[in-house]
Structure 1
Amino acid sequence: MIAAADWTAWTCAVRVAVTDSTALDAARAEVTAVMAEVDRAASRFRADSELAAVEASDGSFTRIGPLLTDLLAAALRAARLTDGDVDPTVGGSLCGLGYDRDLAEVSLDGGLAVRPAPGWRTIELDVSRHRVRVPAGTHLDLGATAKAQAADLAARAAARTTGAGCLVAIGGDVSVAGPAPAGGWRIRVEDVTGDPSGPPVGPWTVVTVREGGLATSSVHARRWKRGGMQLHHVVDPRTGLPPVSTWRTVSVAAASCTDANIASTAALVRQASAVPWLRARGLPARLVRADGALLTLGGWPAEERAA
């Protein structure tokens, strides 16, 4: 019997589901522990995080733990795979737009300081020696990869500990591990991530996932208004501003949630050119245009329902 638990963390809805109801408490404990470890390592909102220590090092090499090493390696891999569309050096850009603290605490007063990202090639990561050098004054944001990577790590940890099939969803990032339930994990995909037990908002469909991950990125999530502009958390590194994207929502399935989120975020930045880019990689994807028109690629199932 599938059992699930829901709570809120990182200003996101979090869900863990397991194929054995007796494993739920242990699975939730694993998810909570992994998210706490990722937060201590990579939060840009904590003065005591490892990431904060790296940024305070004035451009010298800083020793870091294995987890932050892996998180930074994934962020730099994302930048390479997307030709810089997904860039971890956008932290300063987001701060300039006012997103310098947890979203619920972002000030709506004040102006904007538009800051293009310094560029991911300025980061020197020594994986074997667990150290990194970031230019002085550069601020990092690993949001395009770390949340999805946390879902992957948590799902694997929960499955390993319990022996059950596990699904972990953090916001729009979903990862599954262990033996899937009969027929696979059924996941509702829509524009706005909300309570899965509540009514859907706008067009939606249900997909089945047996392994890997699924990620949804949207310009309708994590929004705020400042300097007379409506802003969101996806930033074009080249301009330092949120793109006026062709798409309002992009969902992608891949071998991991991390890879899925890299692709869905890059698609918002790439706009119309995301279509041939996703097709070339054979990734199943669902793209929703600003006017609500749907486009599916790579074997994504046809839309079944509308609210």
Structure 2
Amino acid sequence: MAATLQTRVTAASEWRALGTSVRLVVTDPALLDSCNLLLARHLAEVDAACSRFRPDSELAALDGAQGRPVRVSPLLAEALDVALRAAEATDGAVDPTVGSAMEAIGYDRDFTLVREDDRPIRLTVRRAPGRRRIHLDRETGTVTVPPGIRLDLGATAKAWAADRAATLLAETAGCGVLVSLGGDTAVAGEPPADGWQIRVQDVTGTVDETPPQGSYTTVGLHSGGLATSGTAARTWRRDGHDLHHILDPRTGLPARTPWRTISVAAPTCAEANTASTAALVKAEGAEHWLTKLGLPARLVTKEGLVITTPGWPNTAKGAGNRATNPHRGTAA
């Protein structure tokens, strides 16, 4: 008997959390509401543990510890472990000790408020202290952060939270799940027959533009994660300087890179986002580095030239029009 593929009906919802857009899609519409509640609860827990902008968060509590070991929740310990492993895997191109540098360029509050801030800043080169200064003891559940070092988990936390949420929801609901947090996309469970159709685009306007402006394509994701990092999103101007949120830990300043966006697919969204962010920082060496890692990637130069690594589907510009309702994977 010949097997037939049936397209699964999906249902979706969108809202905001963690200072970014949240998109949830499930293959069983009857379970959307319950999955929404579970996802909202999970993201609230992540925010309480990992937010750099909440004075009552666990992460903020580390600032006043003055180098003393602090017992943290398993959730923050896991998030910090992901961040430290990302720093190790990228030779420090992604580093959680850039918190002070982020504050120095004015990114010290929710991004919706950053552009409205007119306080003067002074851009100075300051190398990030580095991952080796942070001690995480998983057995005792304690973290030791030396005085003067502030942590920022922004390069990994959203992607890790998307992975965690997608797995949790798929196991609980027993259906296919897609979770996207600001474009960091993770999928789990049984996917639609043709995979999750995700539109990868360069942000030149709003993410709701149809058709989108700029270079874009659509890919089918069956498992794992997909992330896009870029220097065109989360930008602001201060004291005559054009700034963005991708910092080079070697300088503590916005990375100077030839790439506008880099999209990467990987076994997890955390791995994908780590690689896309690190590749921006690695600048001219990004394509070779991603190819060496065996990660399918799409790199777009500031001039709009699209370059792909082996494994990335070769689709023509504008291929996103083939999908009836693609899920956005915009730059974060």
Structure 2 length-normalised TM? 0.90
**Aligned 8 A contact 1:233 1:242 in 2:** yes
- What is the CA–CA distance in structure 2 between the aligned matches of 1:195 and 1:162, rounded to whole Å? 29
SS at match of 1:88: coil
Question: What residue in structure 2 maps to residue 110 of structure 1?
Answer: 120
Question: What residue in structure 2 maps to residue 179 of structure 1?
Answer: 190
- What is the CA–CA distance in structure 1 between the aligned matches of 2:213 and 2:76, rounded to whole Å? 36
Question: What residue in structure 2 maps to residue 304 of structure 1?
Answer: 316
For structure 2, the residue ranges without an aligned partner over 5 or more in a row are: 1-8, 321-332
Among all aligned residue pairs of Structure 1 and Structure 2, give the percentage whose two residues are the same amino acid.
51
Question: What residue in structure 1 maps to residue 227 of structure 2?
Answer: 215
Q: Displacement, 1:196?
A: 5.3
Instruction: State the one-letter code of the partner of 2:160.
Output: Q
Q: Displacement, 1:302?
A: 1.6
**Aligned 8 A contact 1:4 1:18 in 2:** yes
Structure 1 pair 26–194 and aligned structure 2 pair: CA distance change class (3 A)? farther
**Aligned 8 A contact 1:98 1:112 in 2:** no
Pair 1:132 & 2:132 matched: no
Question: What residue in structure 2 maps to residue 24 of structure 1?
Answer: 32
Question: What residue in structure 1 maps to residue 169 of structure 2?
Answer: 158
Question: What residue in structure 1 maps to residue 254 of structure 2?
Answer: 242
Instruction: State the one-letter code of the partner of 1:22.
Output: A
Instruction: State the one-letter code of the partner of 1:73.
Output: D
- Tell me the matched-pair count: 307
Q: Displacement, 1:10?
A: 2.9
Q: Displacement, 1:270?
A: 0.2
Instruction: State the one-letter code of the partner of 1:3.
Output: A
- What is the CA–CA distance in structure 2 between the aligned matches of 1:96 and 1:143, rounded to whole Å? 15
Question: What residue in structure 1 maps to residue 292 of structure 2?
Answer: 280
- The equivalent position to 1:81 in structure 2, one of 69, 85, 89, is 89
Deviations 1:165-224 (A, max 9, x none): 000001120000011111111000001285457321211100000000000001011111
- The equivalent position to 1:33 in structure 2, one of 36, 41, 52, is 41
- What is the CA–CA distance in structure 2 between the aligned matches of 1:86 and 1:194, rounded to whole Å? 27
Question: What residue in structure 2 maps to residue 143 of structure 1?
Answer: 154
Q: Displacement, 1:157?
A: 1.3
Runs (4+) of structure 1 exceeding 6 A deviation are none
For structure 1, the residue ranges without an aligned partner over 5 or more in a row are: none
- What is the CA–CA distance in structure 2 between the aligned matches of 1:121 and 1:101, rounded to whole Å? 26
Q: Displacement, 1:118?
A: 1.2
Q: Displacement, 1:289?
A: 0.6
**Aligned 8 A contact 2:226 2:264 in 1:** yes
- What is the CA–CA distance in structure 2 between the aligned matches of 1:268 and 1:199, rounded to whole Å? 26
**Aligned 8 A contact 1:27 1:159 in 2:** no
